[in-house]
């Protein structure tokens, strides 16, 4: 008698405000499922909590083996209590707001509060003495901004946060400007700032970590910094393929370079499948120290991801390169 096929399910925003990232996450997850021989169900939540909750409620009733979280912190925040309070693990690839950590939520991404640590360090290196975070609404943006301001203050930089809608040319002149909103908001703010007479001393945006950012902005993206949860590596992790192996096969499958969004979704799938295959209970997963194509994986006692670190990239001549490292290949190799 053959072994029953492992089942997995996820909602992703194939339409709605997070459609760009949701589609990329779906491609990464579908790649994993095909490679792993897992029967994956993907439902479009349209960015709506009600749609996501309805889908996960049904999957809990059906006893689906692996439950993978949606994209965006707000959707994960809505779904996690439902799944985790039912005694099930939810593998989180798409939510990084610091307040999400809870028992049963297996998060692979590094916390949002660390996203701009590299940009702050670059501001220190450039001897910039003033830093401004222009943010959009929501707890994710709040966490990114708070983490950046705290880090800058520790480094002796005068730092503050404002809402991006109130940003003026006088605010940014000579300052390090860090932007955190939705993808389209980040692009719009950068376009606006590029047209002002006095440039900031340093410019960074959360959206700059996506290949589509450079595609949309063209030369306006030059020298911008951004955080990425993943950078391609040839090192073979303990769970799943190497980043280089994943990227090559993903490229052949889709005709595109994988973004960190696609990579972290695939990594969550590989991790969830490995834990299921090994029969790991919740506490064993919480204590598990391992690695995936995303990088190191380790959770602290509060289920906060402490093994993985965000990398910082800079846009140079239409491509992303890691800060402090010479370019090598489309995404760099470390």
Looking at the structure, tell me whether residues 120 and 83 fall in a common domain.
Answer: no
Domain harbouring 218, CATH code? 3.40.50.2300
329 belongs to a structural domain = no
Residue 279's pLDDT is what? 96
Residue 141's pLDDT is what? 95
330 belongs to a structural domain = no
Task: Provide the domain limits for residue 142.
Answer: 114-227+312-322
Looking at the structure, tell me whether residues 206 and 318 fall in a common domain.
Answer: yes
**How many Å apart are CA 181 and CA 61, to the nearest integer?**
36
Looking at the structure, tell me whether residues 72 and 153 fall in a common domain.
Answer: no
Looking at the structure, tell me whether residues 46 and 90 fall in a common domain.
Answer: yes
| Count of structural domains within the chain | 2
- Please tell me whether residue 191 adopts helix, strand or coil conformation: helix
Number of residues assigned to the chain? 334
Looking at the structure, tell me whether residues 29 and 46 fall in a common domain.
Answer: yes
**How many Å apart are CA 92 and CA 67, to the nearest integer?**
9
Asked if residues 204 and 178 have their Cβ atoms less than 8 Å apart, the reply is: yes
**How many Å apart are CA 18 and CA 93, to the nearest integer?**
14
CA-closest candidate to residue 323, choices 195, 225, 200: 225
Give the pair of three-digit tokens for residue 96.
């990084």
25 belongs to a structural domain = yes
Longest dimension (CA), the chain: 72
Residue 3's pLDDT is what? 58
Residue 38 CB partners (closer than 8 Å, separation 6+): 5, 6, 7, 8, 32, 66, 269, 273
Residue 326's pLDDT is what? 41
Looking at the structure, tell me whether residues 92 and 187 fall in a common domain.
Answer: no
83 belongs to a structural domain = yes
154 belongs to a structural domain = yes
Predicted confidence pLDDT, tens digits, the chain (334 residues)? 345 799 999 999 999 999 999 999 999 999 999 999 999 999 999 999 999 999 999 999 999 999 999 999 999 999 999 999 999 999 999 999 999 999 999 999 999 999 999 999 999 999 999 999 999 999 999 999 999 999 999 999 999 999 999 999 999 999 999 999 999 999 999 999 999 999 999 999 999 999 999 999 999 999 999 999 999 889 999 999 999 999 999 999 888 889 999 999 999 999 999 999 999 999 999 999 999 999 999 999 999 999 999 999 999 999 999 997 543 333 333 3
**How many Å apart are CA 21 and CA 14, to the nearest integer?**
8
CA-closest candidate to residue 322, choices 330, 308, 332: 332
**How many Å apart are CA 296 and CA 172, to the nearest integer?**
36
């Amino acid at each position: 008698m053959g072994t029953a096929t492992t089942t997995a399910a996820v909602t992703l925003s194939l339409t709605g405000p997070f459609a760009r990232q949701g589609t990329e996450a779906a491609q990464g997850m579908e790649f994993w499922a095909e490679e792993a021989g897992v029967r994956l169900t993907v439902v479009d939540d349209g960015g709506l909590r009600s749609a996501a909750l309805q889908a996960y409620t049904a999957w809990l009733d059906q006893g689906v083996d692996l439950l993978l979280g949606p994209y965006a912190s707000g959707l994960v925040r809505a779904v996690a209590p439902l799944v985790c309070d039912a005694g099930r693990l939810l593998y989180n690839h798409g939510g990084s707001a610091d307040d999400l950590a809870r028992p049963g939520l297996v998060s692979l991404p590094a916390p949002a509060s660390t996203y701009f640590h590299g940009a702050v360090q670059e501001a220190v290196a450039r001897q910039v003495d003033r830093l401004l975070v222009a943010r959009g609404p929501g707890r994710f943006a709040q966490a990114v901004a708070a983490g950046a301001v705290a880090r800058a203050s520790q480094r002796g930089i005068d730092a503050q946060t404002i809402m991006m809608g109130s940003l003026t040319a006088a605010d940014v002149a000579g300052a390090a400007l860090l932007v955190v909103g939705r993808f389209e908001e980040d692009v719009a703010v950068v376009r606006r700032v590029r047209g002002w007479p006095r440039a900031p001393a340093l410019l960074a945006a959360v959206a700059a970590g996506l290949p589509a950012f450079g595609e949309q902005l063209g030369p306006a993206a030059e020298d911008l910094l951004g955080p990425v949860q993943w950078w391609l590596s040839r090192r073979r992790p303990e769970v799943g393929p190497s980043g280089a192996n994943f990227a090559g096969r993903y490229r052949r499958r889709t005709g595109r370079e994988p973004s960190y969004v696609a990579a972290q979704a695939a990594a969550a799938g590989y991790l969830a499948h490995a834990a299921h295959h090994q029969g790991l209970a919740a506490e064993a997963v919480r204590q598990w120290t391992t690695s995936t194509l995303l990088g190191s994986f380790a959770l602290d006692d509060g289920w906060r991801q402490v093994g993985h670190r965000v990398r910082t990239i800079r846009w140079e001549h239409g491509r992303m390169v890691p800060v402090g490292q010479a370019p090598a290949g489309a995404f760099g190799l470390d």
